[in-house]
Amino acid sequence: MNNDIKTFQTTLKDHNLKLLRRDITTLQINTGLLCNQICKHCHLSAGPKKSELMTRKTMDEIKTFATGYTFKIIDITGGAPEMNPDLPYIIEILKGLAPEIILRSNLSALSEFDNDSLIELLKDATISITASFPSINEKQTNVQRGNGIFSTSVHMLQKLNSFGYGIEGSGLKLNLVSNPSGAFMPASQEDAEKRFRKVLMSKWNISFTNLFSFTNVPLGRYKTWLKESGNYDSYIQKLIDNFNSEALENLMCRDLMSVSWDGFIHDCDFNLAAGIHSGDRKTHITEINKPFVNGSAIITDNHCYSCTAGAGFT
């Protein structure tokens, strides 16, 4: 990296800011790095050849931990969580342990599941679905995520709607996540949501709950692509130029703890991808009985600029 680039820690100091935890309300669980897609922007470099997968033993350890504390949200992510054969198991043991449980899906992995049995299970447990749907442009989506992914995703959104997901009044949330296809900042979330809502409804009769815009994080496969395409330094500089000190207030790491597939604790999924452990010490979920305390420091690095650029990433 260019040595002239100002570190995130220095930027915080210049603004007289510190990134500190509040009470932890969200438990994020990474069930593994196995994925059926090889997306260009993936900060975890997940893919079909990955062997990291959460076991039932770690799932049981997480359940024991979650039972002893009150979380508002449990957020299940991957890789593609659907690629972990024990996804139904972890849903069964965690349901009821938080008012909201979210499953993050790339949609195509959900479509590979047999007989809609997983959708039935999610619906019965009122699990919210947060689905990657980067763009309403078919070509852009397929370039970023793989051939045919756009049409598979549209088909899955229609199917989820038919189960009540994303339909007003059903109580079943279907949120979408979009992200830019290249080394640039996302469009305004509000404008993107309006555009997606209009196009998805008029072309494919698809409804959804909310849309979140995501700034690509310069880690993993996306970092490799930025470096190979000569965009890395200019991308980081763009994030720095868009630094918004007010975004710090709502950063997810202030209220969230993230557990890796092998049970270790991180401040967020990005720090997990960067190999940064909470408190700068490798701590297993079985070594603690409650989250790290309110007021303690969160470890940051330059990828944190993605979370503070523009409207921020909460």
Closest separation in Å from C-beta 190 to ligand SF4: 21
Whether omega for the bond prior to residue 166 falls within 30 degrees of 0, making it cis, is: no
Closest separation in Å from C-beta 108 to ligand SF4: 26
Count CB neighbours of 106 within 10 A. 29
CA angle 307, 183, 146 (to 5 degrees): 100
Q: How far apart are CA 44 and CA 251, in angstroms?
A: 20
Structure tokens at 111: 């479509």
105 or 308, CB closer to ligand SF4?
Answer: 308
**Three-class secondary structure of residue 243 per DSSP:** strand
Closest separation in Å from C-beta 155 to ligand SF4: 32
Q: How far apart are CA 248 and CA 309, in angstroms?
A: 10
The torsion defined by the Cα of 240, 241, 246 and 252, in degrees rounded to 10, comes to: -40
**How are beta strands 256-259 and 265-266 bridged, if at all?**
antiparallel
Closest separation in Å from C-beta 280 to ligand SF4: 12
Question: Residue type for 139, please?
Answer: K
Closest separation in Å from C-beta 213 to ligand SF4: 15
Rg of the chain on CA atoms, in Å? 19
Strand order in the sheet with 26-30: 211-213, 174-178, 128-132, 100-105, 73-77, 26-30, 256-259, 265-266
30 or 271, CB closer to ligand SF4?
Answer: 271
223 or 303, CB closer to ligand SF4?
Answer: 303
206 or 219, CB closer to ligand SF4?
Answer: 219
Closest separation in Å from C-beta 303 to ligand SF4: 5
25 or 111, CB closer to ligand SF4?
Answer: 25
57 or 281, CB closer to ligand SF4?
Answer: 281
Query: Which positions touch ligand SF4 (CB under 6 A)?
Result: 251-253, 267-268, 270-271, 298, 300, 303-304, 307
